Structure 1
Amino acid sequence: MITKNTIDKVFETARVEEVIGDFVQLKRAGSNFKGLSPFSDERSPSFMVSPVKQIWKDFSSGKGGNAIAFIMEHEHFTYPEAIRYLARKYNIEIEETEQSNEEKEQTNERESMYLVSEFAKKYFHTTLLNSEEGKAIGYTYFKERGFTAETIKKFELGYSPESWDALTKEALGKGYQLQYLDKTGLTIVKEDKQFDRFKGRVMFPIQSMSGRVLGFGGRILTNDKKAAKYLNSPESDIYHKSKVLYGIYHAKQSIAKLDNCYLVEGYTDVIQFHQAGIENVVASSGTALTPDQIRLINRLTKNITVLFDGDAAGLRASIRGIDLILEEGMNVKVCTFPDGEDPDSFAKKNSYDDLVHYLEHNAKDFIQFKASMLMDESKNDPVKKAGLIRDMVTSIAKIPDRIQREVYIQETARIMDISEQVLVNTLAQLVEKDSVETDKKGKQPYQKPMEVVKEPESQTSKIDILYQLERKIIEILLLYGNVEEEFEDVLIKTNEYGEPMEVSEKNNYKVFQRIYLSLQEDEVELANGLFRAIYNDLVAFYHQNEVFNIEQYLMHLPVELAQEVTDILMEDELYKLHNWEGQNIIPIYKSENTAQYVSETILTMRWYLVDKIIDELKSSLSAEPDSDNSEILIMAMDYHKLINSFSSKLGRVMSRYSN
Structure 2
Amino acid sequence: MISKNTIDTVYETARVEEVIGDFVQLKRAGSNLKGLSPFSNEKSPSFMVSPVKQIWKDFSSGKGGNVVAFLMEHEHFSYPEAIRYLAKKYNIEIEETEQTEEDKEQANEKESMYLVSEFAQKYFHNTLLTTDEGRAIGYSYFKERGFSGDTINKFGLGYSPEQWDAFTKEALGKGYKLEYLEKTGLTISGENRQTDRFRGRVMFPIQSMSGRVLGFGGRILGNDKKAAKYLNSPESDIYHKSKVLYGIYHAKQAIAKKDNCYLVEGYTDVIQLHQAGIENVVASSGTALTPDQIRLINRLTKNITVLFDGDAAGLRAAIRGIDLILEEGMNVKVCTFPEGEDPDSFAKKSSYDALVAYLEGEAKDFIQFKASLLMDEAKNDPVKKAGLIRDMVTSISKIPDRIQREIYIQECARIMDISEQVLASTLAQLVQKDIADAGKKFKEEQKQKALDVVKDGQEVAGRVDVLYELERKIIQILLLYGGETEEFEDVLLKADEEGELKEVTEMKQYKVYERIFLSLQEDEIELANPLFRKLYSSLIEYYRQQPVFEADQYLMGLDQELSREVTNILMEEERELLHNWEVKQIIVKQKNQTIAQYVQETILTLRWFLVDKIINELKISLAEAAPENDNSEILSMAIDYQRLINNFSSKLGRVMSRYS
Q: TM-score, normalised by structure 1?
A: 0.56
* Match status 1:142 vs 2:142: yes
Partners of 2:112 and 2:180 within 8 A in 1: yes
Partners of 1:77 and 1:210 within 8 A in 2: no
Letter in 2 for 1:275: Q
Partners of 1:14 and 1:67 within 8 A in 2: no
How has the CA–CA distance of structure 1 residues 236 and 288 changed in structure 2, closer, same or farther, with 3 Å as cutoff?
same
User: 1:17: Cα distance to partner?
Assistant: 4.5
User: 1:371: Cα distance to partner?
Assistant: 0.4
User: 1:77: Cα distance to partner?
Assistant: 8.2
Superposition pairs of residues 262-277 of structure 1, within 5 angstroms: 262-277=262-277
Partner of 2:111: 111
Superposition pairs of residues 239-388 of structure 1, within 5 angstroms: 239-388=239-388
How has the CA–CA distance of structure 1 residues 346 and 428 changed in structure 2, closer, same or farther, with 3 Å as cutoff?
same
Partner of 1:167: 167
Q: How far apart, CA to CA, are the structure 1 residues paired with 2:124 and 2:95?
A: 30
Letter in 2 for 1:78: H
Partner of 1:235: 235
Q: How far apart, CA to CA, are the structure 1 residues paired with 2:276 and 2:71?
A: 23
Q: How far apart, CA to CA, are the structure 1 residues paired with 2:224 and 2:437?
A: 47
Partners of 1:71 and 1:82 within 8 A in 2: no
Letter in 1 for 2:249: Y
Letter in 1 for 2:289: L
Any idea what the Cα deviations from partners look like across 1:96-139, whole Å, max 9, x if unmatched?
A: xxxxxxxxx99822111111111100000000000111011100
Partners of 2:396 and 2:405 within 8 A in 1: yes
* Match status 1:184 vs 2:180: no
Partners of 2:72 and 2:79 within 8 A in 1: no
Partners of 1:247 and 1:270 within 8 A in 2: yes
Letter in 1 for 2:372: S
Q: How far apart, CA to CA, are the structure 2 residues paired with 1:332 and 1:76?
A: 32
How has the CA–CA distance of structure 1 residues 22 and 297 changed in structure 2, closer, same or farther, with 3 Å as cutoff?
closer
Letter in 2 for 1:181: L
User: 1:436: Cα distance to partner?
Assistant: 2.5
Q: How far apart, CA to CA, are the structure 2 residues paired with 1:297 and 1:82?
A: 25
Q: How far apart, CA to CA, are the structure 2 residues paired with 1:193 and 1:202?
A: 23
Partner of 2:392: 392
Partner of 1:416: 416
Q: How far apart, CA to CA, are the structure 2 residues paired with 1:193 and 1:83?
A: 37
Partners of 1:265 and 1:285 within 8 A in 2: yes
Partners of 2:334 and 2:364 within 8 A in 1: yes
Question: Given the alignment, which residue of 59, 74, 78 partners 1:78?
Answer: 74
Letter in 1 for 2:433: K
Q: How far apart, CA to CA, are the structure 2 residues paired with 1:177 and 1:269?
A: 35
Partners of 1:68 and 1:82 within 8 A in 2: no
% identical equivalent positions: 74
* Match status 1:207 vs 2:207: yes
Superposition pairs of residues 506-521 of structure 1, within 5 angstroms: none
Superposition pairs of residues 35-50 of structure 1, within 5 angstroms: none
Letter in 2 for 1:270: V
How has the CA–CA distance of structure 1 residues 106 and 270 changed in structure 2, closer, same or farther, with 3 Å as cutoff?
farther
Superposition pairs of residues 487-526 of structure 1, within 5 angstroms: none
Q: How far apart, CA to CA, are the structure 2 residues paired with 1:202 and 1:379?
A: 45
- Report how many residues are paired: 407
Give secondary structure in 2 for the equivalent of 1:394: helix
Q: How far apart, CA to CA, are the structure 2 residues paired with 1:67 and 1:130?
A: 45
Q: How far apart, CA to CA, are the structure 1 residues paired with 2:10 and 2:343?
A: 42
Partner of 1:224: 224
Q: How far apart, CA to CA, are the structure 2 residues paired with 1:106 and 1:302?
A: 41
Q: How far apart, CA to CA, are the structure 1 residues paired with 2:137 and 2:277?
A: 27
User: 1:145: Cα distance to partner?
Assistant: 0.3
* Match status 1:87 vs 2:83: yes
Letter in 2 for 1:145: R
How has the CA–CA distance of structure 1 residues 72 and 310 changed in structure 2, closer, same or farther, with 3 Å as cutoff?
farther
Partner of 1:597: none
Q: How far apart, CA to CA, are the structure 2 residues paired with 1:337 and 1:178?
A: 46
User: 1:190: Cα distance to partner?
Assistant: 0.8
Give secondary structure in 1 for the equivalent of 2:114: helix
How has the CA–CA distance of structure 1 residues 79 and 129 changed in structure 2, closer, same or farther, with 3 Å as cutoff?
closer
Superposition pairs of residues 23-34 of structure 1, within 5 angstroms: none
How has the CA–CA distance of structure 1 residues 327 and 20 changed in structure 2, closer, same or farther, with 3 Å as cutoff?
closer
Letter in 2 for 1:87: I
How has the CA–CA distance of structure 1 residues 148 and 441 changed in structure 2, closer, same or farther, with 3 Å as cutoff?
farther
Partner of 1:541: none
How has the CA–CA distance of structure 1 residues 395 and 18 changed in structure 2, closer, same or farther, with 3 Å as cutoff?
closer
Letter in 2 for 1:190: G
How has the CA–CA distance of structure 1 residues 407 and 261 changed in structure 2, closer, same or farther, with 3 Å as cutoff?
same
User: 1:64: Cα distance to partner?
Assistant: 3.9
User: 1:438: Cα distance to partner?
Assistant: 2.9
User: 1:66: Cα distance to partner?
Assistant: 5.7
Any idea what the Cα deviations from partners look like across 1:529-568, whole Å, max 9, x if unmatched?
A: 9xxxxxxxxxxxxxxxxxxxxxxxxxxxxxxxxxxxxxxx
User: 1:82: Cα distance to partner?
Assistant: 10
Any idea what the Cα deviations from partners look like across 1:376-434, whole Å, max 9, x if unmatched?
A: 00001100000000000000000011111111001101111111111111111111111
Q: How far apart, CA to CA, are the structure 2 residues paired with 1:84 and 1:257?
A: 30
Give secondary structure in 2 for the equivalent of 1:146: coil
Partners of 1:160 and 1:199 within 8 A in 2: yes
Partners of 1:322 and 1:366 within 8 A in 2: yes
Q: Mark the runs of 5 or more structure 2 residues left unpaired by the alignment.
A: 33-48, 57-65, 98-104, 446-523, 525-660
How has the CA–CA distance of structure 1 residues 245 and 76 changed in structure 2, closer, same or farther, with 3 Å as cutoff?
farther
RMSD: 4.1
Q: How far apart, CA to CA, are the structure 2 residues paired with 1:427 and 1:355?
A: 37
User: 1:294: Cα distance to partner?
Assistant: 0.5
Q: How far apart, CA to CA, are the structure 2 residues paired with 1:364 and 1:388?
A: 17
Partners of 1:409 and 1:420 within 8 A in 2: yes
Letter in 1 for 2:321: G
Give secondary structure in 1 for the equivalent of 2:108: helix
Q: TM-score, normalised by structure 2?
A: 0.56
Q: How far apart, CA to CA, are the structure 2 residues paired with 1:207 and 1:137?
A: 24
Q: How far apart, CA to CA, are the structure 2 residues paired with 1:435 and 1:92?
A: 59
Partners of 1:205 and 1:213 within 8 A in 2: yes
Q: How far apart, CA to CA, are the structure 2 residues paired with 1:263 and 1:175?
A: 39
Give secondary structure in 2 for the equivalent of 1:188: strand
Partners of 1:72 and 1:82 within 8 A in 2: no
Letter in 1 for 2:424: V
* Match status 1:195 vs 2:195: yes
Partner of 2:403: 403
Q: How far apart, CA to CA, are the structure 1 residues paired with 2:418 and 2:396?
A: 16
* Bigger radius of gyration: 1
Q: How far apart, CA to CA, are the structure 2 residues paired with 1:278 and 1:77?
A: 31
Partner of 1:133: 133
Partners of 2:68 and 2:83 within 8 A in 1: no
Partner of 1:427: 427
* Match status 1:124 vs 2:124: yes
Partners of 1:75 and 1:252 within 8 A in 2: no
Give secondary structure in 1 for the equivalent of 2:282: strand
How has the CA–CA distance of structure 1 residues 290 and 18 changed in structure 2, closer, same or farther, with 3 Å as cutoff?
closer
Partner of 1:642: none
Any idea what the Cα deviations from partners look like across 1:308-359, whole Å, max 9, x if unmatched?
A: 0100010000000000000011100000001110000000000111111100
How has the CA–CA distance of structure 1 residues 418 and 15 changed in structure 2, closer, same or farther, with 3 Å as cutoff?
same
Partners of 1:128 and 1:139 within 8 A in 2: yes
User: 1:435: Cα distance to partner?
Assistant: 1.8
Superposition pairs of residues 461-480 of structure 1, within 5 angstroms: none
Letter in 1 for 2:198: F
User: 1:194: Cα distance to partner?
Assistant: 1.1
